[in-house]
């Protein structure tokens, strides 16, 4: 993935000068696990304002369409497929066409505001927006929720092993598939209900 931000090197990335004080205070790069951005990050409006400033500083523009796609991803709170975003866009702008959404997603990917989740062919907002350190993404295969694990030493060791085996990562993202706690609980409850019904 082409990105305007530094690749993960294990070094922490300081908040950008454009980041609002509240966001800089809430930034949790020192923690091992980051929940999805809608859970602990800045408010949606603050996140969008931060994204606009980030783009402006780099000579890019967060056009109304790009902003709306980012807003839809923020609202979703989980990995979302492009055609779902297109359906939502069509409810707002009836004439929205697939290239419109794909071009917006390509832009958001190129500047590092979103991640592409290859395993389920979906997109999710980067937890830290302009502070992305390309951690390890854990993707729930049931509901599409995504959690970013920021453990630079673990990532470096994994990348070193991959390169030692003669491979090179195709993108900055490293994905692990799993089942989130909520889906595990739902599955357990469903199994328990089936067992009870069988008695």
Known binding-site positions for Fe cation: 134
* Residues pairing with 137 in the sheet: 148, 175
Known binding residues: 134, 140, 143, 180, 183
Residue whose pair of structure tokens reads 């492009």 in the numeric block: 82
Q: Residues comprising the binding site for Zn(2+)?
A: 140, 143, 180, 183
The counts of H helices and E strands in the chain are 8, 6
Gap between the Cα atoms of 165 and 187, Å rounded: 37
Residue 160 structure tokens: 């070193």
Pairing of strands 174-178, 136-140: parallel
């Amino acid at each position: 993935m082409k990105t305007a931000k530094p690749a993960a090197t294990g070094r922490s990335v300081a908040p950008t000068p454009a980041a609002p004080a509240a966001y800089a205070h809430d930034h949790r790069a020192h923690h091992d696990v980051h929940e999805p951005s809608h859970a602990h990050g800045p408010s949606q409006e603050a996140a969008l304002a931060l994204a606009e400033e980030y783009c402006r500083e780099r000579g890019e523009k967060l056009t109304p369409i790009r902003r709306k796609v980012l807003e839809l991803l923020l609202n979703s709170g989980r990995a979302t497929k492009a055609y779902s975003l297109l359906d939502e866009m069509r409810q707002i702008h009836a004439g929205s066409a697939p290239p419109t959404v794909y071009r917006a997603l390509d832009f958001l990917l190129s500047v590092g505001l979103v991640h592409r989740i290859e395993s389920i062919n979906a997109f999710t907002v980067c937890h830290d927006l302009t502070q992305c350190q390309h951690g390890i993404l854990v993707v729930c295969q049931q509901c599409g929720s995504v959690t970013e694990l920021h453990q630079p030493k673990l990532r470096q060791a994994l990348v070193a092993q991959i390169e030692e085996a003669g491979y090179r990562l195709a993108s900055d993202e490293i994905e692990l598939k799993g089942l989130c706690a909520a889906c595990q609980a739902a599955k357990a409850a469903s199994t328990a209900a089936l067992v009870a019904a069988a008695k």
